[in-house]
Amino acid sequence: MNKTIALLVFPLLPFLLAACQSPGRPGENNSGACREPHRPQFHFSPPEKWMNDPNGMVFYDGEYHLFYQHYPDSNVWGPMHWGHAVSTDLVHWEHLPIALYPDSLGYIFSGSAVVDRNNTSGFGQDGKPPLVAIFTYHNMPAEKAGRKDFQYQGIAYSNDKGRGWTKYAGNPVVPNTGNIRDFRDPKVIWHEDSQQWIMVFAAYDHVKFWGSKDLKKWEHLSDFGKEWGSHGGVWECPDLFPLKVEERGETKWVLLLSINPGGPNGGSATQYFIGNFDGKSFTPDASFSPSVKGEKAVWLDYGRDNYAGVTWSDIPKEDGRRLFLGWMSNWDYAQAVPTEAWRSAMTLPRSLELRKTQAGYRLFSQPVRELASLRENTRALEPGDIQRQLDLTQKTGLSPAQMELILEFEPRPGAPADFGVELSNSKGERYRVGYNAATGRFYSDRTGAGQHAFSEKFGAAVHTAPRLSTGKTIRFHLCFDVASAELFADEGATVMTDIFFPTETFSMAKIYVDKGRVNLVRGEAWALKRIWD
């Protein structure tokens, strides 16, 4: 490096390193960090290489931890590690070194982490509670040798805020009982009423509940699910938590369950159940059932790109939110998407609420309020009828590449309306997210949104979702981030998350009305700042 450049670059190094750290290396000029084509600008993505499920999400000492399934040597799936990042606001992330490496017991598959406040495990030091991670070991040689019991649960602990981890010498803590090939993804919670730790994990077509007093010795409590929900694929990544029902004095238990394939629009997706957990077994409410004829499950998100999501552990009581994050991809094509330096991102962190609707108890998802800290250039749209279209680029001057929109529509009496938001570029590629009153469904259409030849399963069909709300006003809350769209319709009653890969960044946005007549009763738009600077 010549001297002048060195003089300029060295004072900047701390800032450059705090950035996305990709593709440059320390000492190299990486001012282009995280600006590759298709790189999300306000979603979490790994600095480089392969990522899948979020893991070990726990809040401790002011930090939200995010671990993730990671293969540091390639941009496709391989021997799994736990990558690691922390955030103090759920929006900006600091990348940390890999937390868990494969060992002689196997690869480190998905799992969770807890703060062991009462040091039940005895792993604590100096009166401080340890962080304990609970994960699945996947023993590849055992699988290759034709055994079925190659997955089992192990634990590790940290006494330095999740920076350094020690695997427990007594692993595995839950051996593979019953010779079940799919025996994985433990989520652990403290169950106050029965004063014990509860582990829920997936076992092919059901979940298992195990209990423990110390996180080390576990006993089997019960099974759930063989006769419940959707079974179009293998069950994975469960989560179990209590949630207060909004505006009612009751609390219900929520069981999230990812399934692959078998999602409502194909491939990977997440279903859920609402019911009761008594410290031993989970019982769904008698009235809990899908609202749509022919559907077997109630889905958290109808888009194709929200999988293996679970919620943060140990969110302080004063906060009280149930915070969720999913992997923004789908096993149908995750390993083939057209990004090279890294592969895939997480969804926006979301706050989950439980409401009683006319269809029964339902989860509502909304982006966390912290996201608003990225807003700039607020633009209000004039209310009024929209005839055929409203040019959002011209009205707001904002780039649709990084944009948030809140739009409230009231269809006028007459022909059923078909309307929504379209992003496009000079190549004629376009993405549409809309609502069709004739079918009563929202839709997300990436069939013409750019590259899709990498997988025949990617751009084949328009994705649709039933509208749950019966309100007259149809509310779109949209977040667009370079290569993804998240629709939180009607305060999060219907959610769709989809990724796309235009060959040139989308530069134009409009509201379109293809059929019927629509009144825009409220419209707001924001540019969202990137998180890596």
Q: Which two tokens stand for residue 520?
A: 């825009």
Which listed residue (48, 205, 236, 498) binds ligand FRU by CB under 6 A? Answer: 236
Q: Which is nearer to ligand FRU, 203 or 518 (CB)?
A: 203
- Contact status: 481 vs ligand FRU (CB under 6 A): no
User: Chain centroid to CA 171: how far?
Assistant: 29
Helix (H) or strand (E) holding 419: strand 418-424
Residue 362: CB minimum distance to ligand FRU, A: 24
* Torsional sign, CA 478, 483, 484, 485: positive
User: Residue from 52, 75, 87, 139 that binds ligand FRU (CB under 6 A)?
Assistant: 52
Interaction of residue 109 with ligand FRU, rule CB under 6 A: yes
Nearest distance, CB of residue 54 and ligand FRU, angstroms: 10
| Structure-block tokens of residue 142 | 């055992």
Question: Shortest distance, CB of residue 80 to ligand FRU, whole angstroms?
Answer: 5
Nearest to 232 by CA among 180, 267, 273, 207: 267
| Position 110 contacts ligand FRU (CB under 6 A) | yes
Q: Apex CA 481: angle with CA 304 and CA 521, to 5°? A: 90
- Residue 8 belongs to what H/E stretch? helix 3-9
| Interacting residues of 39 by C-beta distance below 8 A, sequence separation 6+ | 20, 45, 339, 341, 342, 482, 483
**Residue 414 and residue 518: Cα distance in Å, rounded?**
10
Residues touching ligand FRU, count (CB under 6 A): 12
- Contact call for residue 344 and ligand FRU (CB under 6 A): no
Give the one residue of 48, 116, 185, 353 binding ligand FRU; rule: CB under 6 A.
185
Distance CA 350, CA 182 (A): 28
- What part of residues 439-478 is at the interface with ligand FRU (CB under 6 A)? none
Beta bridge partners of 480: 403, 485
- Which residue's structure tokens are 């868990």? 100
Binding string to ligand FRU for residues 302 to 341, with x set by CB under 6 A, is what? Answer: ------x---------------------------------
30 and 16 in contact (C-beta within 8 Å)?
yes
| Site membership for ligand FRU, residue 184 (CB under 6 A) | yes
Q: Is 69 in the site for ligand FRU (CB under 6 A)?
A: yes
Please identify, using beta-carbon distances, which residue of 310 and 478 lies nearer to ligand FRU: 310
Q: What's the maximum distance between 2 C-alpha atoms anywhere in the chain? A: 73
Single residue of 19, 20, 237, 511 touching ligand FRU by CB under 6 A = 237
- Min dist CB 197 to ligand FRU, Å, is 20
If one asks whether residue 80 binds ligand FRU (CB under 6 A), the answer comes out as: yes
Q: Does 526 bind ligand FRU (CB under 6 A)?
A: no
Q: Is 53 part of the annotated catalytic residue set? A: yes
Q: Which is nearer to ligand FRU, 82 or 409 (CB)?
A: 82
Phi, psi of 357 (to 5 degrees): -110, 180
Residues labelled as active-site residues? 53
Residues that bind ligand FRU (CB under 6 A): 52-53, 69, 80, 109-110, 136, 184-185, 236-237, 308
